[in-house]
Structure 1
Amino acid sequence: MSTATRREFGAGPLSRVAALVYTLLVVELLLLLCAAPGLVALFALERHVSNLPLVAVCAVPLGPALAAALYALHHQRLDLTELRPARLFWRGYRANLAGSLLVWVPMLLWLTILAVNLVNLRSAGLSGWWAVPLVLVGAMVAVVGVNALVITSLFTFRLRDVIRLARYFVLRTPQVAVGTALLLVAATVLTLVASEAALAALASVLALALVRGSAPMTTAIRQEFTR
């Protein structure tokens, strides 16, 4: 089979759909594999507010796994003749392990502190209206943190520059911030209504939605801040 024939074979609509499904399945399996230590412990925890710090600890392995998934889904071409999702995933995991943890762990720490304060408002003697600023701050931390994870997954910047860009693009590309916030809300609702297992089963789909939704931000960064 000639090169031109192979390209024609792998470029049709059905081939692209098959390539997307295969890529999502492979990325899903590898993401779950890398996050498995934390997920297994998370599933064993009782759903109680006192376990919030433990939930954050269990979620630590998810950061590098999600970064690798973002890298693989961003770089994978939907061509049946050029499918390498596993290779891309492991390349992204190795390249982004340290950077993703430097972004992910502080975000988890901040969100845990805010969540603990939120669920203990009454015991602390605070009025209920304090929930509003706490939720708003938590939403901002989460959106900036996810922006930073996307940036550090796809580009090579110093940590302080990653954080600056993540904050800057909240205002520069508000559609990305809104899309990320909606994804986070959907993930939270899915976890509360169903279970953590349901969220884990759709992890690669959510990662793909994050890659697609962040395209205006990543395109602007590539054009304006890289050579």
Structure 2
Amino acid sequence: MTVRVDGADEVGRGPLSTAALAVYRALVLEVLLLLTLAPTIVVWTLLVPDPTNVWLYALSGLAIGPALSAGLYASRAWALERDQRPAAAFWRGYVRGFWPVLRWWTPALALAAILVLDVAFADHVPGGAALRPAAVLLLAVLTVVAGHLLVVTTFFSFRTLDAARIALYCLGRCPTASLGVLALVVAGVGLAVLGGDVLALLLLFAFVRLAHLNARSVLTLVTETFTRHA
């Protein structure tokens, strides 16, 4: 008789084994996020925080989308399996989502850069101050839609335009998740400002895991509404 030893048997199911596995996965996720975000981290560290550099910030931020997508993909895969190769799930998600994410992440960053410039230089344009709230609101909506679109692109295989429409649909249908995206972004920015960039970078894994938990209602809605059931 042959006894099959799977990931769960290797890891064990006791509380200590579960805790050790959770810590191990968190460390692996943190290291891989730092690795894939290295170009962004280096450039953003060297840039002077000035609105005139917004296009350089946007260009160097291209690496963020695929990295977050891989982190979300790995987080969901880990919830379904208990093997001791967490890095494999991350790289699988990175390769799978790289181009699908970049196809919309690139124009989204460009639009965000334009809105940031509108907010920063509103006082230099006649009537610009009155339009600043609208630019801030559009930037907030873009942030939430991008958060939902990241989830849709990571876990489903829709065309880019269809995925964008679904993300807009989720904007109103998943209000808790929409507020959650904004809360995570505000918390991340606040942590970087108040606690420093190093602390924010060291908590990247927590940000991604919370983003995965926040996306559950979006995943359920998209699965039940836009996919076929056998």
TM-score, scaled relative to structure 2: 0.90
Per-residue CA distance 1:177-211 (angstroms, 9 max, x = gap):
01111111111212222343332221121111011
Per-residue CA distance 1:41-87 (angstroms, 9 max, x = gap):
1111112221111111111111111111110011113765x132100
Range 8-17 or range 35-44, more displaced: 8-17
Letter aligned with residue 41 of structure 2? L
User: What does residue 41 of structure 2 align with?
Assistant: 39
Unpaired segments ≥5 residues, structure 1? none
Tell me the number of residue pairs that the alignment of Structure 1 and Structure 2 aligns.
226
Q: CA deviation at 1:39?
A: 1.3
Give the Cα–Cα distance (whole angstroms) in 2 for the partners of residues 199 and 131 of structure 1: 28
User: Kindly tell me: are residues 222 and 7 of structure 1, through their superposed partners in 2, closer, same or farther at Cα, counting changes over 3 Å?
Assistant: farther
User: What does residue 213 of structure 2 align with?
Assistant: 212
Q: Within the alignment, does 1:176 sit opposite 2:182 as a pair?
A: no
Letter aligned with residue 186 of structure 1? A
Give the Cα–Cα distance (whole angstroms) in 1 for the partners of residues 195 and 181 of structure 2: 21
1:61 aligned counterpart, secondary structure: helix
User: What does residue 117 of structure 1 align with?
Assistant: 118
User: What does residue 99 of structure 1 align with?
Assistant: 100
Give the Cα–Cα distance (whole angstroms) in 1 for the partners of residues 58 and 104 of structure 2: 14
**Share of identical aligned residues, percent?**
32
User: What does residue 11 of structure 1 align with?
Assistant: 13
User: Kindly tell me: are residues 44 and 72 of structure 1, through their superposed partners in 2, closer, same or farther at Cα, counting changes over 3 Å?
Assistant: same
Paired residues of 2:11 and 2:21 also in contact (CA < 8 A): no
Give the Cα–Cα distance (whole angstroms) in 2 for the partners of residues 180 and 92 of structure 1: 21
Aligned pairs (5 A) from 1:31-70: 31-70=33-72
Paired residues of 1:37 and 1:61 also in contact (CA < 8 A): yes
Give the Cα–Cα distance (whole angstroms) in 2 for the partners of residues 61 and 212 of structure 1: 22
Give the Cα–Cα distance (whole angstroms) in 2 for the partners of residues 99 and 44 of structure 1: 29
User: Kindly tell me: are residues 152 and 196 of structure 1, through their superposed partners in 2, closer, same or farther at Cα, counting changes over 3 Å?
Assistant: same
Equivalent of 2:23, from 21, 24, 30? 21
Give the Cα–Cα distance (whole angstroms) in 2 for the partners of residues 154 and 110 of structure 1: 24
Range 118-127 or range 25-34, more displaced: 118-127
Range 99-108 or range 186-195, more displaced: 186-195
TM-score, scaled relative to structure 1: 0.91
Per-residue CA distance 1:144-172 (angstroms, 9 max, x = gap):
01110111111111101110110001111
User: Kindly tell me: are residues 195 and 47 of structure 1, through their superposed partners in 2, closer, same or farther at Cα, counting changes over 3 Å?
Assistant: farther
Paired residues of 1:73 and 1:85 also in contact (CA < 8 A): no
User: What does residue 74 of structure 1 align with?
Assistant: 76
1:125 aligned counterpart, secondary structure: coil
Give the Cα–Cα distance (whole angstroms) in 1 for the partners of residues 54 and 198 of structure 2: 17
Paired residues of 1:76 and 1:85 also in contact (CA < 8 A): yes
1:46 aligned counterpart, secondary structure: coil
Unpaired segments ≥5 residues, structure 2? none
Give the Cα–Cα distance (whole angstroms) in 2 for the partners of residues 121 and 42 of structure 1: 24
Give the Cα–Cα distance (whole angstroms) in 1 for the partners of residues 80 and 23 of structure 2: 10
